[in-house]
Structure 1
């Protein structure tokens, strides 16, 4: 009984370590956001070309170009522009699109729900498929059993994890849009429109996470407290769910957070393949049109989303395993 009790991880967080962890993690987040803002501003302003001229066209008069440049504040020195950019961000102002003349925040607000829905759906599908599959593979192959099944699992998941999401997307378009024409392959016209882009985003991460969960599961199933639980003739389901699963979640959460960050970036290519009305298609069009304020705003949204995902993962890890608040830093 002592060994089983020792297997359970503490879930409570003492005020001291937790407060230090929260302060340290919040400070790191703020520094990362500042670096992201600075890098995105520098990247956009180092790109050669005149965004105003590109937006108005080559036939626009010099007077009109100068007037628009002055209205957007692009005639000011870079330090002044950067200070104004920071002040605007603090007020929730991401600037104005040089092409449409609309506030960047409005354009992003119109497109963000489609991208967020796609990313969340892909992440949920990834976890729903990968966790049970990895755990089942670990249980089935533990102790060197079913060697053939282990090789098949490793081979299939290894191949799927190595295929880029955009290549999977192209294959899905050909299969379901050209060969069988049973699912929509372009646009957002209803719930069925989510099927192919979500699958394209989830296949490789689900395969990679299932492999990691299996490896972690084999490690956990080999621990002494699991052997003790089995020796006490506890039901296998109870052993796997109550004693093994909580100890697998740390690795699954860590990798899941990294995969979600990858999903956020992967939406750019997948959205363009499926003509999805989200931020991914918008940023590609903005780069083509040299709409730099809009590009800068979308880059900030993507970057902040990744940073927030990492923060949430760190907090969840701290809740599941308070020792991570001490190990960190």
Structure 2
């Protein structure tokens, strides 16, 4: 009987489309990851040493105010009751109330999230716009071992930019381009020019990594048979570059670029503080300093969910563009 059941399950699995199984596995992984993230965010407040309300309000705060604030946050309830309440609130979009400002955390997120998303999206676009053409041009110029000096210079510059922390690069840009030269605003969000330095600080490292990948994929494409065949047919150079080389160089580049979007979201925490950008990153650091734990909980949950969602979308797009990636996981 057990063997019959196992055989039926095996037949059902084989009859299911590989893409569908791939999507279901990715969705299950996403849901489990978000659930684990919610538990960790809840546990964050429970493992804070001492009384988080007293720490946020200060040692000299009135005891009645501390007790009232603790009751409003539900921290006077058993841990199990707090967790059930927290799950219900998160599911409904209610992240509680800020201890220091008494403002609903959902309102804080609504005010600051657009600035962070705008900065991240601009940095992502800049990464793709810079990395893909530069990597492609260098790969074309250095194909078959040509121009070794150019290839070495490109590798050195890209390698340097890829390891410089966003925080250090941002500070250097502020000092040179904003303070010394006065070309851009030192801090704040006041117009299109205020995006230049934060976007450059965020996009420099991922653009360098992506450009190196595009260069490698471009040089590898010139070794493939379809490019050799196209050259034998005496096709024009730009036809070979853009019709044969570029599409085959973009598969890996777009996959890595999508994953880098999650890294860009995390990188905004430091960059926003350097440029006093009115986003979630700066808000989270201020909340950590002020021990405003409900705000920290909510922002960590938003950041974590955003990164997981980006990874999910990248996986699904890759399976749609290249079905072999879904088949290989069977």
- TM class by shorter chain equals over 0.9
Which residue in 2 is equivalent to 1:85? 86
SS in 2 for 1:187: coil
Q: CA offset at residue 25 of structure 1?
A: 1.2
Which residue in 1 is equivalent to 2:222? 221
Q: Which moved more, 1:274-283 or 1:171-180?
A: 171-180
Which residue in 1 is equivalent to 2:154? 153
- The aligned length equals 316
Which residue in 2 is equivalent to 1:305? 306
Q: CA offset at residue 50 of structure 1?
A: 2.0
SS in 2 for 1:166: helix
Q: 2: distance between equivalents of 1:22 and 1:40?
A: 27
For the 8 Å contact 2:45–2:52, the answer to whether it is kept is: no
Q: CA offset at residue 112 of structure 1?
A: 0.5
For the 8 Å contact 1:134–1:210, the answer to whether it is kept is: yes
For the 8 Å contact 1:51–1:98, the answer to whether it is kept is: no
Which residue in 2 is equivalent to 1:272? 273
Q: Which moved more, 1:106-115 or 1:158-167?
A: 158-167
Alpha-carbon deviations, 1:48-68, whole Å to 9, x = none?
Answer: 132222333323222221122
Q: Which moved more, 1:78-87 or 1:301-310?
A: 78-87
Q: Give the 5 Å matches for 1:3-18.
A: 16-18=17-19
Which residue in 2 is equivalent to 1:45? 46
Alpha-carbon deviations, 1:10-64, whole Å to 9, x = none?
Answer: xxxx982222222111111101100111112212321213222233332322222
Q: TM-score, normalised by structure 1?
A: 0.92
Q: CA offset at residue 236 of structure 1?
A: 1.8
Q: Give the 5 Å matches for 1:141-220.
A: 141-220=142-221
Q: TM-score, normalised by structure 2?
A: 0.92
Q: 1: distance between equivalents of 2:277 and 2:253?
A: 29
Q: 2: distance between equivalents of 1:186 and 1:49?
A: 36
Q: Which moved more, 1:60-69 or 1:259-268?
A: 60-69
1:238 and 2:239 aligned: yes
